[in-house]
Chains A and B, each alone.
Chain A
Amino acid sequence: MSKTVNQKAWWLVLPVFVMVAFNALIPLMTVVNYSVQESFGNNEFFWSGTVWFQQLLADDQIHESLLRQIVFTSIVLAIQVPLGLSIALCMPKKGPWVSVCLVLMALPLLVPWNVVGSMWNIMALPDIGLLGKGINALGIPFNYTRQPMAAWFTVILMDVWHWTSLVVLLCYAGLVSIPDAYYQAAKVDGAKPWAVFRYIQLPKLKHVLTIAILLRFMDSFMIYTEVIVLTGGGPGSTTKFLSIDLVQKALGGFDLGPAAALSIVYFLIILLMSWLFYTLMMRNEAN
Chain B
Amino acid sequence: MSLELHNITKQVGADTHIHPTSLVLKPGSFNVLLGTTLSGKTTLMQLMAGIQKPSSGTIRFAGKDVTGVAVQKRNVSMVYQQFINYPNFNVYDNIASPLRVAGMSSAEIDARVGKAADLLRLTPMLKRRPNELSGGQQQRTAIARALVKDSDLILLDEPLANLDYKLREELREELPKLFAGREAIVVYATTEPIEALLFGGTTAALHEGRVTQFGPTSAIYRTPRDLVTAQVFSDPPINTAIVEKRGETMTVFGNVAWPAGSARSLPDGRYTMGIRPHHVTPEKAAKTSGAFTGRVLVTELSGSESIIHVEVGGSTWVSQSHGIHAFEVGASATLHADLDQALFFGANGELIR
Cβ contacts under 8 Å, A200 to chain B:
86-87
Cβ contacts under 8 Å, A181 to chain B:
80-82, 84
Complex partner residue of B51 from A179, A182, A184, A199, CB under 8 angstroms = A184
Contact A188–B77 (Cβ < 8 Å)? yes
Cβ contacts under 8 Å, B84 to chain A:
179, 181-182, 185
Interface size, chain B (Cβ < 8 Å): 19
B176 within 8 A of A: no
- Bound CA span A69–B311, Å: 77
Complex partner residue of B78 from A184, A191, A195, CB under 8 angstroms = A184
- Bound CA span A204–B71, Å: 24
Contact B72–A190 (Cβ < 8 Å)? yes
Per the 8 Å Cβ criterion, residues 217-260 of B in contact with A are none
A189 within 8 A of B: yes
| A179-B82, A181-B84, A182-B84 as given contacts; A188 in contact with B89, CB under 8 Å | no
Contact A188–B51 (Cβ < 8 Å)? yes
A139 within 8 A of B: no
Complex partner residue of A188 from B49, B81, B86, B87, CB under 8 angstroms = B49
B106 within 8 A of A: no
Of all chain B residues, the one with the shortest Cβ separation from A199 is B86
Contact B88–A203 (Cβ < 8 Å)? yes
Cβ contacts under 8 Å, B78 to chain A:
184-185, 188
Cβ contacts under 8 Å, A203 to chain B:
86-88
- Bound CA span A203–B84, Å: 13
Of all chain B residues, the one with the shortest Cβ separation from A287 is B132
Contact A187–B82 (Cβ < 8 Å)? no
Contact A185–B80 (Cβ < 8 Å)? yes
Of all chain A residues, the one with the shortest Cβ separation from B149 is A189
Contact with A along B41-74 (1 / 0, CB 8 A): 0000000010100000000000000000001100
Q: Give A246 Cβ to nearest chain B Cβ, in Å.
A: 42
A-B contacts counted at CB < 8 A amount to 42
Contact B101–A189 (Cβ < 8 Å)? yes
Cβ contacts under 8 Å, A185 to chain B:
78, 80, 84
Per the 8 Å Cβ criterion, residues 79-100 of B in contact with A are 80-82, 84, 86-89, 97-98
- Bound CA span A155–B13, Å: 50
- Bound CA span A200–B49, Å: 22
Complex partner residue of A204 from B72, B87, B98, CB under 8 angstroms = B87
Complex partner residue of B101 from A182, A190, A204, CB under 8 angstroms = A190
| A199-B88, A199-B89 as given contacts; A187 in contact with B80, CB under 8 Å | no
- Bound CA span A255–B102, Å: 69
Q: Give A198 Cβ to nearest chain B Cβ, in Å.
A: 9
Cβ contacts under 8 Å, A199 to chain B:
86, 88-89
Q: Give B22 Cβ to nearest chain A Cβ, in Å.
A: 25
Best-surrounded residue of A190, A199, A200, A203 (most CB of chain B within 10 A):
A190
B76 within 8 A of A: yes
Q: Give B220 Cβ to nearest chain A Cβ, in Å.
A: 29
- Bound CA span A200–B82, Å: 15
Per the 8 Å Cβ criterion, residues 118-153 of B in contact with A are none
- Bound CA span A187–B97, Å: 12
Q: Give B61 Cβ to nearest chain A Cβ, in Å.
A: 15
- Bound CA span A204–B89, Å: 12
Q: Give A109 Cβ to nearest chain B Cβ, in Å.
A: 30
| A181-B80, A200-B87, A203-B87 as given contacts; A191 in contact with B101, CB under 8 Å | yes
Complex partner residue of A189 from B49, B80, B97, CB under 8 angstroms = B97
Cβ contacts under 8 Å, A195 to chain B:
101
- Bound CA span A60–B87, Å: 48
Q: Give B12 Cβ to nearest chain A Cβ, in Å.
A: 14
Cβ contacts under 8 Å, B49 to chain A:
188
Complex partner residue of A187 from B72, B87, B88, B89, CB under 8 angstroms = B72
Q: Give A286 Cβ to nearest chain B Cβ, in Å.
A: 12
Of all chain B residues, the one with the shortest Cβ separation from A200 is B86
Q: Give B263 Cβ to nearest chain A Cβ, in Å.
A: 47
Q: Give B199 Cβ to nearest chain A Cβ, in Å.
A: 22
Cβ contacts under 8 Å, A179 to chain B:
82, 84
Q: Give A242 Cβ to nearest chain B Cβ, in Å.
A: 37
Q: Give A229 Cβ to nearest chain B Cβ, in Å.
A: 44
Of all chain B residues, the one with the shortest Cβ separation from A285 is B131
Contact B88–A189 (Cβ < 8 Å)? no
Closest 9 CB pairs of A and B: A190-B72, A203-B88, A203-B87, A181-B80, A185-B84, A189-B98, A190-B101, A199-B86, A188-B78
Instruction: Given A185-B80, A185-B84, A203-B86, output 4 extra A-B contacts at Cβ < 8 Å.
Output: A187-B71, A188-B78, A189-B98, A200-B86
Interface residues in chain A, defined as those with a beta carbon under 8 Å from any beta carbon in chain B: 179, 181-182, 184-185, 187-191, 195, 199-200, 203-204
Interface residues in chain B, defined as those with a beta carbon under 8 Å from any beta carbon in chain A: 49, 51, 71-72, 76-78, 80-82, 84, 86-89, 97-98, 101-102
